Amino acid sequence: MCGIVGYVGGREAANVIISGLHRLEYRGYDSAGLAVIHPDGVLDVFKCKGKVDDLERFLQGKNAGGTIGIGHTRWATHGEPSDANAHPHLSRSGDLALIHNGIIENYRVLRDALRTQGFTFRSSTDSEVLVNLIEYVRDEHRCSLEEAVREALSQVVGAYAIAVIERGDTSRIIAARKSSPMAIGVGDGEYFLSSDAASIIGFTQDFVYLNDGEIAVIERGKPLHIMTLDGAESPVAIQKLRLSISQLEKGGFDHFMLKEIHEQPETLEDCIRGRVIPGTREVILSGVLDNKERFLAARRIIFVACGTSWHASLIGEHLIESMCRIPVEVEYASEFRYRDPVIYPDDIVIAVSQSGETADTLAAVGMARKAGAFVYGICNVVGSSIPRATHSGTYIHVGPEIGVASTKAFTGQVTVMAMMALLIGRLKGTIDEGYYHRVAQAILELPATIREALKTAPEVASLARMFTYAHNFIYLGRGYNYPTALEGALKLKEISYIHAEGLPAAEMKHGPIALIDAEMPTVAIATPDSTYEKTLSNIEEIKARGGKIIAVVCKGDDLVRRSADYCIEVPSTVECLMPVVSIVPLQFLSYYIATYKGRNVDQPRNLAKSVTVE
C-alpha cells in the first residue's frame, strides 16, 4: 500500500507530485508529504497527517519550489498515522530524504544497531530506520548515494519500493524496488517515478518498470541507469501505456465506485472484444491457446487470490469443473503461501488479482513457480507485478479501478473465467457444441444484459434508505450465486461498516438461522437455476421466523415474490453467467447504504486499494 511519486526535470516538482499523489490516494490516505531540493541545494520536507488535500493546505504560503522532489501518501503499517510518521523521512544529518512503500521486517535489529552508533529516531516507522542506514553506510564507506543504497538494501529483509534524494544534488533521484511496484515515466528531458504508472499518465505514456532487486539512477538530462543489487547492468526497456486521463476521473459521478458500477457494460465490451467473435462465436484467448498442451494435461487447477478476486475464483471453480472436468481448488493466497501445500508440476496455478500487486498473491505465484507448476494470471493492471511473474495469462481489460470496493474487476474476472472454461472445455471435448455456442452468445450479450441490470439503481436506492438502520445483514445464495452472496456481503462491510455474512443458503439450518429476527435482513439471490426450488424453501424458512427478505430474482418471477418482502428484478442469462448480473443490484445496495450513512465510499476507513504488504 502507500503511493510514491518522484520527479526530476524542468517543471515545479511539487505540482507534479501533488497531482500524482491525488491519483495514488487509493493506495493509502492517512498522511501525505513531499520533499524538494530548492535550486540552491537546500532540502526541505513538508508533511502532515491527513489526505493530499490537507497537504496542499499545509503547503500554502510555504516555499516548496524546486525541480526535483519525491512525495508519498501513506497507509500506516509501522506507527500510527501522525505528522512524525508521515513520509518523506529525513536522515539524522538532514542530508537524505526517503519515501518508502513496503515493510522492512528486520527494522528493529537495524534500528538497535544504529542506536549503538548514536542514531536517534523521530518516528516509529521502519522507513526512518532505512534512511538512516543509508546515511550510515554512505558516511562509513565514503561512497556515492547509489552505492550506499545498494549496500544498505543488501542488509534489509522485507519488501520495498523506495526513492531517495540528497541535499545539494539537484539532478538525481535513486530508486529501488523489491516486491513493491515502481514505474519510471520517461519524458522529454524529465523523469517521473510512481507506484502506479497510471498516476502520471497525464505527463507521459512511456514507462520503464523496475524489476525486483533493481536500483535506478534517475538523473536529469542523462539516460536512465538501472542495475541489480549485485551491481550488474540491467537493460532499460521502455513500454507504452495506453490510457486516457478520462479513465482516471469521476466523469460526473459522485464517487469512483458509482462510476465503475455504471461503466460495466463498456468495461465488459472491452473485456470480450476480440475474444468472443460475433457471428462465429469462437472463443480466442491467446494465453490459453498458446499453452493448450498444458491446459489439456492439467491434473488440477488451483486458484490463488484475495478478497473479491477470491470470490470470483470460487465462480471460476464452478465454471471449470462443470465445463472442463478438471478438479479445482480455490485458496486464499495468504493461507496457501504459508501452508506448504502439495503442488504438482502438472498443476496449473491461476493467480487472480485486479491490481496485480497483492503481496500474498504475488508470493503464492513465486511459490507455485518454484514447485514447477504452470502459473497463469488473470489481472487488470497491465505491466503490474503478477502478470510479469506468471508464465502466461489473460488481462481482464476493464480499465483503472479506483474505488477501493472492487466492482467492475469482479465482473471482468468472472467473464474471463467463463471464456477460459468454454475454450478449455471445447478443446477437451467436455462440453457439447450447442452449450458452447449458447454460453458464447450469452457472453456477447453480457454488456446489454448488464445495461438492463443497471436500471435497478433507483429501486435499490430506495430499498437502501429503508435498510440503513440495520446493524447486520445475511446474504444467501447457492451454486454459482453463493460466491455472489459472499461478494455482496463484502461490499456492504467494507464501505458501510455494517456487519454482513455471506452463506450458502442451505447452511442456514446448521446454525446461522438462530440469528434471524425482525432486525436481521436477509438478501437472497434466487435466480432460476438448478437450486432455485431449494433456495425458495430456504427463503420460506427465514420468513417463518420473522426475518425480512430482499430477494434478487429474474424478470417475471412470481414464486419468490410471494415470500420475499422486496424483490429486485434483474434480466436473466445462462446460469453460469448469472453472478455477473445478480451482483449489480448488490453493488448498488452497498453503495447507497454507505452514502446514506455518510461513509467515504471511495476511501473507506482502514483500507487501501492495493494490499502490497502481508
Q: Across the chain, how many H-helices and E-strands are there? A: 19, 24
Grid cell digits, residue 518? 425482525
361 belongs to the binding site for ligand M6R (CB under 6 A): yes
Shortest Å, Cβ 610 to ligand M6R? 6
Grid cell digits, residue 609? 486499494
**Is 2 considered catalytic here?**
yes
405 belongs to the binding site for ligand M6R (CB under 6 A): yes
Burial grade of 609 (CB within 10 A; 0-12, 13-18, 19 or more): buried
411 belongs to the binding site for ligand M6R (CB under 6 A): no
Selected binder of ligand M6R within 170, 406, 572, 582 (CB under 6 A): 406
Shortest Å, Cβ 91 to ligand M6R? 33
Q: Which positions from 41 through 70 interact with ligand M6R, judged by CB under 6 A?
A: none
Shortest Å, Cβ 71 to ligand M6R? 23
- Identify the DSSP state of 434: H
Asked if 216 and 175 count as a contact pair (C-beta separation under 8 A), the reply is: yes
Residue nearest to ligand M6R (CB): 307
Site mask, ligand M6R, residues 326-355, x = CB under 6 A? ---------------------------xxx
Nearer CB in complex with ligand M6R: 264/308: 308
d(CA 524, CA 564): 9
Asked if 409 and 265 count as a contact pair (C-beta separation under 8 A), the reply is: no
Closest to 215 measured CA to CA, from 172, 171, 167: 172
Shortest Å, Cβ 346 to ligand M6R? 26
DSSP output for 147-161:
HHHHHHHTT--EEEE
Selected binder of ligand M6R within 31, 322, 358, 390 (CB under 6 A): 358
d(CA 368, CA 106): 26
Asked if 104 and 160 count as a contact pair (C-beta separation under 8 A), the reply is: yes
Grid cell digits, residue 290? 498458446
Which member of 2, 271, 324, 567 is catalytic? 2
611 belongs to the binding site for ligand M6R (CB under 6 A): yes
Q: Which positions from 285 through 314 interact with ligand M6R, judged by CB under 6 A?
A: 306-309
Shortest Å, Cβ 482 to ligand M6R? 17
d(CA 278, CA 294): 27
Helix axes 307-324, 408-428, angle to 10 degrees: 20
Dihedral sign for Cα 69, 73, 76, 82, please: positive
Site mask, ligand M6R, residues 240-269, x = CB under 6 A? ------------------------------
Site mask, ligand M6R, residues 455-494, x = CB under 6 A? -----------------------------------x---x
Which member of 178, 493, 548, 609 is catalytic? 609
Selected binder of ligand M6R within 133, 404, 549, 580 (CB under 6 A): 404
Asked if 135 and 148 count as a contact pair (C-beta separation under 8 A), the reply is: yes
Nearer CB in complex with ligand M6R: 132/309: 309
Asked if 344 and 373 count as a contact pair (C-beta separation under 8 A), the reply is: yes
Catalytic annotation, residues:
2, 609
Note the residues at the interface with ligand M6R (CB under 6 A): 306-309, 353-355, 358, 361, 404-406, 490, 494, 610-611
